[in-house]
Amino acid sequence: MIYAFSFLKSLQFFGAVTVPFYLQRMGFTYTQMFLMELLFSVALFLFEVPTGVVADKFGRKTSLFLGSVLFGASFVIIGITRSLTLFILNQILSSFGMSLISGADRALIYENAKYKGKTDTEAAAIAGRYDAFATAAMLIAFPAGSWFVSCGIQPYTTALGTVFIATGICIMLSGIAILFVKEARQKSEQNQTVTSAFKHGVEGVKYVFSNNKLRQYSLNYAIVSGLTFLMFWFYQPLLADNNVSITWNGVIAALFNAGGMLLLFATRNSHFNNWNKARSPHHLAHTRNTSNVLLSFSSRTHCPYYSPQYSSSPCSACSAHH
């Protein structure tokens, strides 16, 4: 069922239409759009250690279940509301829910594998299949979401909200799937206090920064993630600027992820071994969030890929070009 959890939580029907959702349904500018992402990333960064206490004290399954419910609910709210105030508050709820999931799934895989006496190579294979199910879900959801938005079943802006609602429902269903996964927990973990669990999380983060190999790995991850997110945010308006139908957004996004899956299989063993050495499920989340924050700040400059399909008027930096 851990694979079902991975598949369901990764059915991101909204993924290939995020930019038009922000610009056309919510009416945001590019600056406002990235400020929302900045808020999410900063909140996620701050929640990582406190929510890690939940996983350490009450179990990975508990953390994953609560995270799935809250994270999924936040997507349903995003798909329904057009209120700026509620949207801002929902970004905090979304980051809290995601922080409960972040790292806990990977820790659950590793600890269950260790409890069953499996080697690091075998554990890496399980983690690889876990990621493969997630990628398979995105390969399905990205084209399906962009097709639904463009097919005319619902009005365009309504459909942009519906794909978020569908994503949220699938994420909440993943919370049900995780309840059927057995969790192997040591007695020392079950008996530890909230204070000791918090200290454990802080020590794990400190270890990442004190270990030279993990620092290098984290820096590499942050740089690559920054470039990846740059493409994620700008390929959609770039396609629209070249009069490509939004239907193709999902196909292109799926191709991006297919390429990423091939790279993942090529590097899985070395990455997973570095993860095990860290013994902290939160260090990758911190490096990822750092790259998000840097991208959010850099995006305060005007977007070079303004498209009349996505906005009623061009930004000042692009007006001369258009």
Q: What is the pLDDT of residues 82-126, one digit of tens each?
A: 999 999 999 999 999 999 998 888 888 888 888 888 888 888 888
pLDDT band at 143, cuts 50/70/90?
A: very high
Distance separating alpha carbons of residues 161 and 139, to the nearest angstrom: 20
Residue 128 has pLDDT above 90, yes or no: no
Q: What b-and-e string marks burial along 232-249, b requiring 16 or more CB atoms within 10 Å of the CB?
A: bbbbbbbbbbeeeebeeb
Task: Tell me the average pLDDT across 55-79.
Answer: 91
Neighbours of 252 (CB within 10 A): 17
Cβ contact 94:33 at 8 Å: no
Residue 310 has pLDDT above 70, yes or no: no
CA proximity to 146, closest of 238, 249, 243: 249
Distance separating alpha carbons of residues 111 and 183, to the nearest angstrom: 8
Cβ contact 218:283 at 8 Å: yes
Residue 46 has pLDDT above 50, yes or no: yes
Task: Tell me the average pLDDT across 218-224.
Answer: 76
pLDDT, residue 204, reads: 65
Distance of CA 136 to the CA centre of its chain: 15
pLDDT, residue 198, reads: 60
Distances (CA, A) of 101 to 3, 61, 162, 308, 310: 15, 9, 23, 37, 32
pLDDT band at 266, cuts 50/70/90?
A: low
Which position has the higher pLDDT, 64 or 295? Answer: 64
Residue 285 has pLDDT above 50, yes or no: no
Distance of CA 117 to the CA centre of its chain: 30
Residue 246 has pLDDT above 70, yes or no: yes
pLDDT, residue 197, reads: 58
Distance of CA 188 to the CA centre of its chain: 31
pLDDT, residue 219, reads: 78
Distance separating alpha carbons of residues 136 and 37, to the nearest angstrom: 25
Query: May I ask the CATH architecture of the domain 2-181+204-314?
Result: Up-down Bundle (1.20)
* Ranges of each domain in the chain: 2-181+204-314
CA proximity to 208, closest of 271, 270, 286, 294: 286
Residue 298 has pLDDT above 50, yes or no: no
CA proximity to 52, closest of 9, 102, 1, 120: 102
DSSP label at 303? Answer: P
pLDDT, residue 312, reads: 35
Q: Would you call 180 helix, strand, or coil by DSSP?
A: coil
CA proximity to 257, closest of 105, 101, 125, 132: 132
Give the percent of the chain with pLDDT over 70: 73
Distance separating alpha carbons of residues 114 and 109, to the nearest angstrom: 9
Q: What is the pLDDT of residues 312-321, one digit of tens each?
A: 333 333 333 3
pLDDT, residue 278, reads: 44
